[in-house]
Amino acid sequence: MINVGVIGVGAIGRDHVRRLTHVLAGVRVSAVTDVDLDRAGAVAGGVGAGVARTGAELIADPGVDAVVVTSWGATHAEYVLAAIAAGKPVFCEKPLAATSADCSAILDAEVGAGRRFVQVGFMRRYDPAYRSLRSTVAGGSLGAPLLMHAAHRNMSLPAHFTGDMLITDSAVHEFDLARWLFSDEIAAVTALTPRRNRRASDDFPDPLVLLVEMAGGILVDVEILANARFGYDIRGEVVCEDGTVALSESAGVVVKRSGSYAGPVPTDWRERFAEAFDAEFRSWLDTVAAGAQPTGPSAWDGYAAAVCTDAGLTALHSRARAEVTLRERPDLYKPA
């Protein structure tokens, strides 16, 4: 039985506690913490876990074998570094850290320890549809990939969501996806702001279009739409020399009636990526159980996404093309 400690039990933290308790086998949540200790107590009480007063206390607890970090992004680096120092596997929701410098410090810590401890929560890599998209492109039957059209449409976003968060919280998934789909780094990002949605406030860039240039020349256009209203709609189509491959409409049923047909659209990320979240945790826990290094998105992937995010913000604020410059990739993160 793997004992997991969870730091930060807000929306996604609670969902992961549910997953670790009711969906996955061979694991239990043994400790929980949150700056809101009442919230931590309520969640811990529901699953028979203990409450730690701080993240540091939870990480040091000998009853915690592995750590899940689901607190606010700005707090991630501190906990990830502490878990590495304690020699414990750590699953960190995106972002790995709030700045690329902090991500870089995490790379240094793992390189210093001589092994990987960190998996970053880029769960789309575990989504069955994205996996087929990737294997179809990699299979080569469609010829070389040239372009990708992607869309990230939210029904609506909470009031605290800023324009910058369209890059740091939404587009960050698209950056990671593009790097993983094409096994290539991103070279530059340009941001375009079309006619503003009447539902968006004056300084909120909704919609936002990002042009993402891959180092090998593939161009990815990403539509970010904050107020789609009809549902949570994630789209992706790769255009290759001899054909295209796209995510299909949601996997549910289609109803034909009175001369039209219709199917369900997910309402949010929890629903759309439920299977992917389960699979990413299954994969992470398998490596924890085996005492092996994680095989999922690494600290390098978290770092690269952070540098792309910085470029995206520069592009949005300057309206100029922003180049992505990564540090040299340490051997620890080079493909075997």
Which residues make up the interface to ligand NAD (CB under 6 A)?
Answer: 7-13, 33-36, 39, 55, 70-73, 75, 93-94, 121, 123, 169, 269
Nearer to ligand NAD, 38 or 203 (CB): 38
In the structure encoding, which two tokens stand for residue 332, read together?
């620890």
Nearer to ligand NAD, 35 or 219 (CB): 35
Relative to beta strand 243-246, strand 233-240 is antiparallel
Instruction: Give residue 265's Cα distance to chain centre.
Output: 21
Contact 59, 66 (CB under 8 A): no
Nearer to ligand NAD, 70 or 250 (CB): 70
Cα distance between residue 99 and residue 102, in whole Å: 5
| Shortest distance, position 107 Cβ to ligand NAD, whole Å | 19
| Shortest distance, position 240 Cβ to ligand NAD, whole Å | 28
Question: Could you write out the DSSP letters of every residue in 238-293?
Answer: EEETTEEEE--S-SS--EEETTEEE----SSHHHHTHHHHHHHHHHHHHHHHTTPP
Residue nearest to ligand NAD (CB): 10
| Shortest distance, position 290 Cβ to ligand NAD, whole Å | 24
Cα distance between residue 213 and residue 179, in whole Å: 10
Nearer to ligand NAD, 95 or 207 (CB): 95
In the structure encoding, which two tokens stand for residue 225, read together?
């739409």
Nearer to ligand NAD, 11 or 219 (CB): 11
Cα distance between residue 88 and residue 188, in whole Å: 35
Cα distance between residue 328 and residue 280, in whole Å: 27
Nearer to ligand NAD, 187 or 285 (CB): 285
| Shortest distance, position 33 Cβ to ligand NAD, whole Å | 6
Contact 89, 294 (CB under 8 A): yes
| Shortest distance, position 299 Cβ to ligand NAD, whole Å | 15
| Shortest distance, position 258 Cβ to ligand NAD, whole Å | 37
